[in-house]
Amino acid sequence: MLDVISRSQRGRICEYSRGETRISTPFAIGTCKDSPVSISCGEEGRVLDFMGTKISLDGKILPTSSGWVRTGCRSENGIAVLRLPVPEDAVLDPDTEVVVVPNGYELRRDPRKTVENIIRLREICGFGRLLCVLGLGEPSTAALLAYMGADILDCSLPEASGLNGIKLVPEAEIYTGNNESEHNIAQMKAEMDKIRLFIECDRLRELADQRSFSSPSSVAMLRLYDEYGYGYAEETCSVTGCRFGCNTVQALRRPDLKRYRERISGYKKPENKKILLLLPCSAKKPYHISKSHKAFASAVHTGPHDALVHEVIITSPLGIVPRELDFMYPANSYDIPVTGEWKCEEKQMIRGMLSELLKQGYEKVVCHLGEDRVLVEDLCDIVITAEKDPVSPDALRNLDSALREMASGMEPADPREDRLNQFRSVLGFQFGSEAADLLTENSYVIGKFPYWKLFRDVSGKKVQLGMMTPERGMVSLTLDGARILAGTGIGTVEIMDFEMKGNLFAVGVTDADPGIRIGDEAIAVCSGEVRGVGVAAMCGREMVSLKRGIAVRIRHKTK
């Protein structure tokens, strides 16, 4: 029986039980016979004792991962042994609960094969099985392997390295010439504890970033995973989250940040915005509560130009952040070292994203970036309002004066129209343009940013469709808002016919929009009728695959 307790992208903490015996993953298998899972060696090779089920790991034919011979899958009592290379037509017995790969060592120091095979194996296993890879894990790579989806590793490689006089720590290999096997095994188990901690707080990517610098092959593994495994990794990335650090260049390629940049590529600016104002980011998130951005607001929101100005923050690792999105993840959550030095990759990203935004058409562009203006000043005709410190009194006066002068000949925008257009842009970013148009048709917005609420008059009654919730960093729908979207299939979860009393569990799900991500709005539907709306606790495919655990944390349900 498998229960997924915590998730951090593809990394998981699982509770797996057989009868009265239970283990928690990530787990490192040793040779101790008192452990629920152990490996012993005899005349006929290695034998895995997995919670009372014993199965041979080494058959008569032992093909290599790079060979053309494939041995298929052997299974016993829910434990399947699948040797590399993985057969193209590999199919698991429906009763399989654990997939064991006995020759994972052959992938060591081959980053491309490691990435390709871990992804392939994880996809074969699905969400409802444990993946155990033997001979590959060590303190320096355990976090990376867990981040890619391996649930169980073993201590054979650390022990063998120790017998050869190599001391392993998460940061490096050190040759001492002494027997370091006990030390290495202890380091491996300590690293597994640390991985669990980072999964619990949904920050496993940060640990994987740190550990990748232990060797060139680990750096290559993470780079290849980010590039070729993006679709696989992004599926399990939450669209909401906690504070996280981007302390390396590789962190720019995190799947959740790449997803943000892809969504921004389809972003539509509020129609009434005619003046583009480029602003620097701030250490405090979200930006609008920082001292510097409150100072900018004194120049932007105190004149008739208020609704004409589109504030866009220039930053790494996100590129650009329109003001109306600054309360959303990941703009509300990232930390990055600020030194005034921009890497080539950051410059290219920012310039490319801003160039695409400029194509949507602005009558005027104002740059208030201070010395960072060199990033963008040659992209179009730009008015510079800050040469050095953007929050200096002179710079703020320049900004106020420039905005007033630019707006003097423009037709003022209605503040109500401005709020609705900005809300439409937020909805487009979160749900897509089709959903944004449906929700904002004949609707209006009240409240103060970022606590805007969306309403529509229906039969003489004011009906709320949704509201921005900065604490969560998303737009939350009411049942009325959910009913509008349900017909499109966006974010819908088909459920069995039962009375919903609390959260929706995976056992009650029959189908789900595969585009649903953890943290998304999820609409529970039965035979076309909306039964509830809430926050997805699993991605769409996982809801369908698993039969245990909360699929949607229900916020509103029909009576």
Using one digit for the tens of pLDDT, what is the confidence trace for 193-223? 999 999 999 999 999 999 999 999 999 999 9
Q: What angle do CA 332, 325, 438 make, to 5 degrees?
A: 135
The two structure tokens encoding residue 247 = 């302390």
As a whole number, mean pLDDT of residues 460-475 equals 94
Quote the distance between the C-alpha of residue 389 and its chain's center.
34
pTM of the model: 0.93
Q: Is the pLDDT of residue 353 over 70?
A: yes
User: Using 50, 70 and 90 to split pLDDT, how confident is the model at 450?
Assistant: very high
Percentage of the chain modeled with pLDDT above 70: 97
User: Using 50, 70 and 90 to split pLDDT, how confident is the model at 412?
Assistant: confident
Calculate the average pLDDT of the chain. Answer: 93
pLDDT confidence of residue 91:
85
Q: Nearest CA to 242 among 273, 285, 209, 210?
A: 285
Which pLDDT tens digit goes with each residue over 524-559? 999 999 999 999 999 999 999 999 999 999 999 998
CB-CB contact of 406 with 382 (8 Å): no
pLDDT confidence of residue 339:
79
Q: Is the pLDDT of residue 65 over 80?
A: no
Query: Order of strands, edge to edge, in the sheet holding 309-315?
Result: 319-322, 309-315, 275-280, 364-367, 383-384
pLDDT confidence of residue 324:
97
DSSP states of 54-121: EEES--S----TTSS----EEEETTEEEEPSSPPTT----TT--EEEETTGGGGTT-HHHHHHHHHHH
Q: Is the pLDDT of residue 66 over 80?
A: no
Domains of the chain (ranges, CATH numbers): 2-236 (no CATH), 257-407 (3.40.50.10630), 478-557 (2.30.130.10)
pLDDT confidence of residue 61:
61
Q: Is the pLDDT of residue 31 over 80?
A: no
User: Using 50, 70 and 90 to split pLDDT, how confident is the model at 75?
Assistant: confident
Which pLDDT tens digit goes with each residue over 357-397? 999 999 999 999 999 999 998 999 999 999 899 999 999 99
The two structure tokens encoding residue 416 = 């109500």
Q: Is the pLDDT of residue 278 over 90?
A: yes
Q: Is the pLDDT of residue 340 over 90?
A: no
Q: Report which residue type is found at 509.
A: V
The two structure tokens encoding residue 68 = 């053309």
Radius of gyration of the chain (CA): 27
User: Using 50, 70 and 90 to split pLDDT, how confident is the model at 63?
Assistant: low
pLDDT confidence of residue 308:
95
pLDDT confidence of residue 541:
97
Burial of 308 (0-12, 13-18, 19+ CB in 10 A): buried
Q: Nearest CA to 426 among 549, 272, 323?
A: 323
- 383-384 and 364-367 as β-strands: parallel, antiparallel, unpaired? parallel
Query: Order of strands, edge to edge, in the sheet holding 45-50?
Result: 37-42, 45-50, 53-56
Which pLDDT tens digit goes with each residue over 88-101? 888 899 999 999 99
CB-CB contact of 286 with 412 (8 Å): no
Q: What angle do CA 287, 407, 417 make, to 5 degrees?
A: 65
As a whole number, mean pLDDT of residues 43-70 equals 78
pLDDT confidence of residue 34:
76
